Amino acid sequence: MAATLHLGSATISWLNGGDFELDGGTMFGPVPRILWKRCFPPDEENFIRLPNSPLLIRTPEANVLVDTGLGDKLTEKQKSIYRVVREWSLVEDLAGCGLSREDIDLVILTHGDFDHAGGIVMRTGEERAELTFPRARHIIQRREWEDITRPNIRSAHAYWPENFAGLEQSGRLELVDGDCEVSPGIRVELTGGHTRGHQLVLVTGSRGRVAHLGDLFPTHCHANPLWVMAYDNFPLEVIERKNTLLPAFCRQGYRFTFYHDPHMQACTLDDRGTPVAVRISATT
């Protein structure tokens, strides 16, 4: 059963997009190890284990996925490089929630990095690649898609063409420019920062609201606006966005959800900006 946050008319469930291990220093960039290891203890090699947790949002109008995990196309060499310790099981997890691949209406990509976009395309039993969610509209910021299709020297290592094969030709790609509502109660907003076209997702239910900031706020340890990742393409933008967005969302009563956090799936922030864990149900 998937861990689930209930918002009245909407629910949010965390699914398994695969776990991997990264050098802790890359996730905390300029933050000294003596500080970040207190909230995120590394192993003896300085690696930390991170989940990639697509969010399943269910509303009366739509079944929505936010990001898609590592996917099932990694080679053995890639699995070794990225130290994959749990395989992607997104389709199986959906089945456990009573949903098939064809039941997904929207896929929202916060951005195009392989750990978020790897599950857009999957292998079939015949080893052919096809869209994992063939009926879904795939929502991506236009400037992110421009960088996915024409990556620069820094982003080319993270935007893998095989993760987007056939998407544009399928007619299921929907590019958006800036902020918009993509389904009743679900809104995307362009943030930039981590990548040029990174976007956040806002969910409004009858009994609560959630802000999912993607890789602007990847774990609860990144609540401090100055704590950024080495992976951030525009770290000063990340700092500026968090410094503005986190207090604003707190004033509006939003809770925050995480994609990469093994210790906390959702939180609020207290008056000092300290994360306070939100209680999550163990049932769907």
Distance separating alpha carbons of residues 53 and 114, to the nearest angstrom: 13
- Multiple choice CATH, 4-277, 3.60.15.10, 3.30.230.70, 3.30.530.20, 1.20.1250.20: 3.60.15.10
For 277, the enclosing helix (H) or strand (E) is strand 275-277
> Strand 173-176 to strand 137-141: parallel, antiparallel, or no bridges (unpaired)?
parallel
> pLDDT truncated to tens, each residue of the chain (284 aa)?
789 999 999 999 999 999 999 999 999 999 999 999 999 999 999 999 999 999 999 999 999 999 999 999 999 999 999 999 999 999 999 999 999 999 999 999 999 999 999 999 998 766 788 999 999 999 999 999 999 999 988 888 899 999 999 999 999 999 999 999 999 999 999 999 999 999 999 999 999 999 999 999 999 999 999 999 999 999 999 999 999 999 999 999 999 999 999 999 999 999 999 999 998 987 65
Distance separating alpha carbons of residues 93 and 241, to the nearest angstrom: 33
**Residue 108 main-chain phi, psi, to 5 deg:** -105, 125
184: three-class secondary structure by DSSP: coil
Which residues does residue 54 pair with via DSSP β-bridges, in sequence order? none
Distance separating alpha carbons of residues 58 and 44, to the nearest angstrom: 40
Among 230, 226, 260, smallest CA distance to 246 is for 226
Give the Å distances, CA to CA, from 247 to 107, 224, 244.
28, 11, 6
pTM: 0.96
210: tokens are 């959630």
| 275 burial level (CB within 10 Å; 0-12, 13-18, 19+) | buried
Among 87, 151, 96, 97, smallest CA distance to 119 is for 87
**Residue 96 main-chain phi, psi, to 5 deg:** -65, -20
Domain boundaries, the chain: 4-277
* Side-chain-facing half-sphere of 7: CA atoms under 13 Å: 26
